[in-house]
Amino acid sequence: MSTSKAVETMVLAISETAISNESYFCELDAVAGDGDFGFSLARGFEVVLDTWEQLDRDSNAAFLRRIATIITSRTGGTSGPIWGTAFLRAAGSLADADATSGGPSDAAAALRASIKGIMDRGKATVGDKTLLDALVPAADALERAAAENLPLSLALERTAQAARAGAEATRDLEAKRGRASYTGARSVGSLDPGAVAVALMTEEIARRLVDFESIASASPTSEEPT
Amino acid sequence: MSTSKAVETMVLAISETAISNESYFCELDAVAGDGDFGFSLARGFEVVLDTWEQLDRDSNAAFLRRIATIITSRTGGTSGPIWGTAFLRAAGSLADADATSGGPSDAAAALRASIKGIMDRGKATVGDKTLLDALVPAADALERAAAENLPLSLALERTAQAARAGAEATRDLEAKRGRASYTGARSVGSLDPGAVAVALMTEEIARRLVDFESIASASPTSEEPT
Amino acid sequence: MKKFVNDPKQFVPDMLEGLALANPGTLTYDPASNLIMRVDAPVPGKVSILQGSGSGHEPAHVMAVGPGMLDGACPGDVFAAPPMDYVLAATRRLATEAGLVYIVNNYTGDRMAFEMAQELAEAEGIKVRTVIVDDDVAVDNSTFTVGRRGVAGNFFVIKAMGAAAERGADIDEVVRVGEHVNSVTRSMGMALTSCTPPAKGTPIFELGETEAEMGVGIHGEPGRERVQVRSASEIVDDLLDAIVSDLPFAAGDRVALMVNGLGGTPISELYLLYGLAHKNLVGRGIEIARNYVGEYCTSLDMAGASLTLVRLDEEIDELFGAPAAVPIRVF
Amino acid sequence: MKKFVNDPKQFVPDMLEGLALANPGTLTYDPASNLIMRVDAPVPGKVSILQGSGSGHEPAHVMAVGPGMLDGACPGDVFAAPPMDYVLAATRRLATEAGLVYIVNNYTGDRMAFEMAQELAEAEGIKVRTVIVDDDVAVDNSTFTVGRRGVAGNFFVIKAMGAAAERGADIDEVVRVGEHVNSVTRSMGMALTSCTPPAKGTPIFELGETEAEMGVGIHGEPGRERVQVRSASEIVDDLLDAIVSDLPFAAGDRVALMVNGLGGTPISELYLLYGLAHKNLVGRGIEIARNYVGEYCTSLDMAGASLTLVRLDEEIDELFGAPAAVPIRVF
Ligand SMILES: Nc1ncnc2c1ncn2[C@@H]1O[C@H](COP(=O)(O)OP(=O)(O)O)[C@@H](O)[C@H]1O
Ligand SMILES: Nc1ncnc2c1ncn2[C@@H]1O[C@H](COP(=O)(O)OP(=O)(O)O)[C@@H](O)[C@H]1O
Ligand SMILES: [Mg+2]
Ligand SMILES: [Mg+2]
Ligand SMILES: [Mg+2]
Ligand SMILES: [Mg+2]
């Protein structure tokens, strides 16, 4: 067994989004937090990219477990444990799943497992103005798409739209968790940086996986995506 | 014996000029110095005004000696010793002088004594970009006016003009003494704050003594100056 | 950005390297986990004490390592809790058979990293306990679910626990001492300016030329309210009102008073504040038995200050007076 | 202006009062002449040491008063030498039969005030000597007739003279020690920002967002040249080039290295600078036997730093190691 092209593409999309938005994410975090979100995230994901060729590729689960370890070892702040746990739980979910299917429902299950991990770790819930406010609607959309038997590309598009809408909606929320919560009502009116990151990442994933049929795919159905 | 109205008016003119220009003098000193000239000067002269009624008025010399003591006790920086010494030497000169004359030549002698004191104390000379560059031309003008037997008011006007010209000319000088000297050639182009203070003070003295005939006068010849 | 820095990403390691080079006889530095530790740690038989936290609060906490204080500190990047791996590596390195206590300021990221590390360390048979510090009265404990923040009062928790550990207290006793000190410690800070993290390069927030932020957090988090700059006396009175009424402190109490600079405020202003705070407290009948004026827990280059009060009892007073040594020194 | 201050004109007295309140057992304060003195001064039989200077350089010099250091300090207002009367009053109060030594940084105002006071004190039969400090290599000694400025190296002159006086050296010996240390001490500083005197309320000079002032004076006087902000390594290299080539320091020398913050620079950056300076000097074959990192002589809230090197010999090394205590302390 080995990694699938689709999962590698997703991780690449997440990593590159984290790195190319480092300053933007810091700016977002500076509004009601401490301005380091982009920095913390980028320091972990740049190691992912730097060690990309050497990463464990025995299976998607092993691959994601390795990503989790890198994040846990390199990313500080709240984001280290949160994102590390998310990758670890996704790895566990894929290890359990029927690796030959790899349709939207497997992806949804992995995302659901990540969400549960984040909630266990950080004690936040939907509405607390965290990345969960983008992730949970995204998982819901993905599950609905799976139930409707939509193709992966369409399912991912719906997922990204839901994440974006969730992220935008954090603007109206008062932060109940994380550093932004110290500002109380003053946090209303600003976007949650974690939720925005999730939106941008799911959008990038949808773009890059438009030609894939399954997250287990070894390669896109048509040409290499640009 | 007691103080003359003219000498009291001069000291008042100097004191009030120092206080009303506190910020301006600080700004001037900030260009190439450390920005405290106005503050230092004002702290001394405000005590002169605060204790005005209680000052020793046995004679002009005693009066000026008391001013010197106040400056020495309250004014710090370079200005304390410089201005304290100036008043002390002026007092000495007036004590020696024929107190009944009090014409421009007595005033010139007092100013010359102040200058000598400042030079002894601070080791500066004309052209070093200090208050001497206003004081020395002023004393020269006053002496010339005395030689020409000009009335006091006209003599003081000439004095003020010379002081102002001297102060303006410090703009082209490179500082050789005081903190401004540390900037070397970069001090060229800025006015010396001490010289500007001297110009403003002599101008104010000329204005206020326009109706006096002698620095020994008990009162102006016509009305009280406004 | 106006800072002494080479590669902003290397700010923390570069600072730690300088700290280690300046203290070769007393500190050991492990770059792999940002770990600054006592040169003689782990001290056999002694309970070890480890602090993490983000960087940017120096001298907290890497410069609070030494006999009678911390055995080690493994900070994260500026304002970011350390990665869990750093904590775990430091735990393995510092633990003794008497055990290891974490001192953790109450922030989500710090708590998670230390909890994860504790779980894993305990699985390896290491005895670990955690003391949470939450002395900041600016953030109301009941309204916000994350609880109060840990700020400059942290110094006193370290001091007391360090003294107890040094004289051979067991792990339960060291934890008890820490929790006891934390329970009688209250702080509040205010900012005159924002601060600029080296990697961000611009201020975390904007304060107008006449604005101040009351109750600011040590990471530049906004505080209770934005106010117009006021006199030093009014600032001290506001901070002490909030602090004194919180515990509450009362007439007859003996206290330790800390005036802590946030990084950009000169020591002259801190002593001016001390004088005002001293007189305010004496006016309330509170006796200042110990005082601390200087920088203890900063926010990079922020101009501002915090006040901390600790209600002293015989035990705490004695622990505060015990000998200790840290890299911060004059001679 | 963003400062902790009540009446700006009372900034210095308010600060001194706070300092005195914080150190009741060790310091005495005489408001009439801004005098902070050891509580046990004058110490019978011991040569007393007095420093004046303007304020705004704290901890220099009011917080350098204590056993093994200064007997007293009588600062003037911010950046203004003390009025002569303060010096004379302090002289009368501190002088012992063994005499009194002034330590005077080489500025016109300071020199004049201390010269005048010395004349008058000597006329009263008090034995007074003066040691001039002029360690700043930024200002070329030959070109400018006022000579080099005294800056952070002052600390080392105080430390050595204080140690010598404490162990009973006579006045000639104390003066000799001071002049000897001054002769092997060199400093240079640079500013990233200007500073704002409380009474002036606005910065003394303007530095653009990308500008730095090399060789800045401790009163905000402009320095050698205005440059573009550069990396910490380049700054350290430039400062050390100027300092090392001035004495000159050479391979094989043992030195004390001070990294001094100018008031607005956090200690994290100072340690980063220390690491760079340390490696630079080791690369030149110079051994750093003692190091000092922190704020010793500041310019109010200026962001910036200075480096000082002292060439050690056995005598100086031993004096630097002698016990001493000042108000600046952690515990
Ligand atoms: N308790 C929590 N659970 C889940 N996510 C959280 C929690 N607290 C904060 N977050 C997320 O983390 C983001 C901030 O991350 P980061 O800047 O690394 O944290 P900090 O600097 O506060 O330690 C927030 O935008 C939010 O999405
Ligand atoms: N050696 C000197 N002799 C005479 N006047 C001097 C000397 N040095 C400086 N001055 C004058 O003093 C003024 C500055 O005074 P002040 O600000 O009190 O000094 P500082 O702050 O440098 O101690 C200068 O503008 C100059 O006119
Ligand atoms: Mg953050
Ligand atoms: Mg000046
Ligand atoms: Mg953070
Ligand atoms: Mg001055």
Q: Does the pLDDT of residue B98 top 70, yes or no?
A: no
DSSP β-bridge partners for residue C259 = C293, C307
In percent, the amount of chain C with pLDDT more than 90 equals: 92
Residue A97: its pLDDT value, please? 67
pLDDT for B50: 97
Q: Which of C76, A41, D144 is nearest to B179 (CA)?
A: D144
pLDDT at B126 over 60: yes
For residue C230, what pLDDT is reported?
A: 95
pLDDT of residue B101: 65
A222 inside domain:
no
Residue B226 has pLDDT above 70, yes or no: no
Alpha carbon of B87 to ligand 2 centroid (Å) = 16
CB pair distance less than 8 Å for D21 and C278: yes
- C287-294/C304-311 β-pairing: unpaired
Q: How far apart are CA D252 and CA A173, in angstroms?
A: 65
Residue of chain B whose alpha carbon sits nearest to that of D143: B184
Chain mean pLDDT for chain A: 91
pLDDT of res. B86: 97
Examine the pLDDT at C222 and tell me if it is beyond 80.
no
Query: Given D82, D143, D205, which is nearest B76 (Cβ)?
Result: D82
Q: Is the peptide bond before D222 cis (omega within 30 degrees of 0)?
A: no
Looking at residue D289, what DSSP letter applies? E
Label residues B89-101 b or e (16+ Cβ within 10 Å = b).
bbbbbbeebebee
User: In this complex, do D221 and B178 lie within 8 Å of one another by their Cβ atoms?
Assistant: no
Could you say which DSSP state residue B95 is in?
Answer: H
Would you state the pLDDT for residue C34? 97
Q: Residue with the nearest Cα to atom 1 of ligand 2?
A: B122
Reported as half-sphere exposure (CB side, CA atoms, 13 A), residue B94 has a value of 29
Angle between helices B60-74 and B37-50 (to 10 degrees): 130
* Catalytic-residue membership of D278: no
Please report the pLDDT score of residue B224 as a whole number.
46
Instruction: Indicate the residue of C54, C205, C217 with minimum beta-carbon distance to A182.
Output: C217
A226 vs D315 pLDDT, higher one: D315
Asked whether residue D183 carries a pLDDT value surpassing 60, the answer given is yes
For B41, residues 6+ apart whose C-beta sits below 8 A from its C-beta are B18, B22, B25, B75, B79, B83, B197
* Nearest in space to D21 (alpha carbons), one of C196, C272, C195: C272
Express each pLDDT in C134-148 by its tens digit. Answer: 999 998 754 456 789
CA–CA gap between residue B80 and residue D112 (Å, rounded): 9
Instruction: Kindly identify which residue of chain C lies nearest to residue A28, measuring between CA atoms.
Output: C204
CA distance D212 to chain C (A): 8
Is the peptide bond prior to C57 cis by the omega test (within 30 degrees of 0)? Answer: no
Q: What is the sign, positive or negative, of the torsion defined by CA atoms of D321, D323, D328, D331?
A: positive
Could C18 and D229 be called an inter-chain contact, meaning their C-beta atoms sit closer than 8 Å? Answer: no
Asked if residue D275 lies in contact with residue D288, where contact means CB atoms within 8 angstroms, the answer is no
Indicate the length of chain D as a whole number.
331
- Chain D nearest-CA distance from B146, in A, is 33
Domain architecture of chain D: domains with CATH: 10-183 (3.40.50.10440), 185-320 (3.30.1180.20)
Task: Say if B127 is an interface residue toward chain D (CB within 8 Å).
Answer: no
> What pLDDT does A95 receive?
83
**Whole-angstrom Cα Rg for chain C:** 19
Output the DSSP codes for D226-251.
EEE---HHHHHHHHHHHHHHHTT--T
Summarize pLDDT for D103-157 with one digit per residue, the tens.
999 999 999 999 999 999 999 999 999 999 999 999 875 445 678 999 999 999 9
- Least CB–CB distance from D113: residue in B32, B74, B80: B80
B134, pLDDT greater than 90: yes
**Residue ranges making up the domain that contains A166:** 5-212
- DSSP class of residue D66 equals S
Which residues are bridge partners to C73 per DSSP?
A: C36, C51
Mean pLDDT (chain C) is 95
Say whether D259 sits in a helix, a strand or coil. strand
Ligand 4 center–CA D74 separation, angstroms = 18
Q: Which residue in B117, B81, B64, B67 sits closest to D88, CA to CA?
A: B81
Q: Is B74 on the interface with D (CB under 8 A)?
A: yes
pTM of the model: 0.93
When CB atoms are compared, the residue of D58, D265, D274 closest to C22 is D274
Residue A225 placed within a domain: no
- Test the C interface: residue of D235, D271, D318 with most C CBs within 10 Å: D271
**pLDDT tens by residue, D5-35:** 999 999 999 999 999 999 999 999 999 999 9
Decide if C61 is catalytic.
Answer: no
Q: Which residue has the higher pLDDT, B219 or D292?
A: D292
Q: Which chains touch C (3 or more CB pairs under 8 A)?
A: A, D
**Shortest-distance ligand to the CA of residue A179:** 1
pLDDT reported for residue B222: 47
Q: Tally the domains of chain A.
A: 1
What is the reported pLDDT for B103?
A: 77
In a domain, B218, yes or no: no
Q: Are D219 and B34 in contact (CB under 8 A)?
A: yes
The percent of residues above 70 in pLDDT, for chain B, comes to: 94
User: Is C84 close to A182, i.e. CB distance below 8 A?
Assistant: no
Is the alpha carbon torsion for C79, C80, C81, C83 positive or negative?
Answer: negative
B140 in helix, strand or coil?
Answer: helix
Above 80 in pLDDT, residue A216?
A: no
pLDDT tens digits for range A67-116: 999 999 999 999 999 999 999 999 999 887 655 467 788 889 999 999 99
Testing the interface with D: which of B34, B46, B192 to mutate, by most D Cβ within 10 A?
B34
Strands D72-73 and D35-38, how do they pair? Answer: antiparallel
B131 Cβ inside 6 Å of ligand 2? yes
As a whole number of angstroms, the distance between CA B195 and CA D242 comes to 34
* Cβ(D265)–Cβ(C301) below 8 Å: yes
Q: What is the ipTM of this complex?
A: 0.91
Residue B226 lies in a domain: no
Using the structure block, give the residue that is written with the tokens 């009060």.
Answer: C309
Distances (CA, A) of B179 to B34, D83, D220: 7, 17, 10
pLDDT classification of C220: cutoffs 50, 70, 90: confident
At how many degrees (to 10) do helices B60-74 and B5-20 cross? 20
d(CA A130, CA C71): 35
pLDDT at residue D325 tops 70? yes
Cis status, amide bond into D248, omega within 30 of 0? yes
User: Chain D within 8 Å of B77 (Cβ-Cβ)?
Assistant: yes
- Picking from A10-19, A91-100, A171-180, C106-115, which range would have the lowest pLDDT averaged per residue? A91-100
How many of the other CB atoms lie within 10 Å of CB of C9? 16
Give the tens place of pLDDT for each residue, A186-197: 889 999 999 999
State pLDDT tens for residues D51-71: 999 999 999 999 999 999 999
Question: What is the structure's pLDDT at B219?
Answer: 66
Cβ under 8 Å to D: C residues 237-296:
263-276, 278-279, 291-295
Which residues of D are less than 8 Å from C291 in CB distance? 22
The residue-averaged pLDDT of D262-283 equals 98
- D42: preceding bond cis by omega (within 30 degrees): yes
pLDDT: which is higher, B85 or C223: B85
Residues sharing a CB contact under 8 Å with residue C173, sequence separation 6 or more, in sequence order: C164
Rounded to whole angstroms, the Cα distance separating A140 from A153 reads 16
D206-223 residue pLDDT tens: 899 999 999 999 988 777
Each residue of B161-191: pLDDT tens digit?
Answer: 999 999 999 999 999 888 888 877 888 999 9
pLDDT of residue A32: 85
> Looking at residue C194, what is its pLDDT?
94
Ligand 2 atom 9, closest CA? B178
Examine the pLDDT at D306 and tell me if it is beyond 80: yes
List, for residues C27-77, the tens digit of each pLDDT value.
999 999 999 999 999 999 999 999 999 999 999 999 999 999 999 999 999
Across all residues in chain B, what is the average pLDDT?
91
Among partner residues D112, D143, D220, which is closest to B34 by beta-carbon distance?
D220
Is the pLDDT at A225 greater than 50, yes or no?
no
Residue nearest to atom 17 of ligand 2 (CA): B37
pLDDT number for residue B3: 87
CATH (domain of B162):
1.25.40.340
D chain contacts of residue B177, beta-carbon cutoff 8 Å = 108, 145-146
> What are the residues of chain D with a beta carbon less than 8 Å away from any beta carbon of chain B?
9, 54, 76-86, 107-109, 112-113, 116, 138-139, 143-146, 149, 197, 199-200, 204-205, 217, 219-223
Structure confidence at residue B97 as a pLDDT band (50, 70, 90): low
Residue B12: partners with Cβ closer than 8 Å, 6 or more residues away: B49, B52, B208
pLDDT in tens, C189-204: 999 999 999 988 889 8
| pLDDT class of D224 with cuts at 50, 70, 90 | confident
Residue C286: closest CA among C260, C318, C266, C257 = C257
Average pLDDT, stretch C275-294? 98
Residue A218 pLDDT grade (very low, low, confident, very high; cuts 50, 70, 90):
low
According to DSSP, the residues that pair with D290 across neighbouring strands are D256
Specify the pLDDT at position A226. Answer: 43
Say whether A72 and C139 touch across the interface (CB within 8 A): no
pLDDT for res A224: 46
Give the single-character DSSP code of D147.
Answer: -
Ligand 1 binding pocket mutation candidate from A25, A26, A36, A37 (most atoms within 8 A of CB)? A37
By C-alpha distance, the chain C residue nearest D272 is C15
Residue D290 near residue C255 (C-beta atoms within 8 A) = no
Residues with CB under 6 A from ligand 1: A 29, 33-34, 36-37, 40, 77-79, 82, 118, 122-124, 130-132, 177-179, 192-195; C 80-81, 108-109
* D200 contact residues in B (CB cutoff 8 A): 23, 26, 30, 35-36, 39
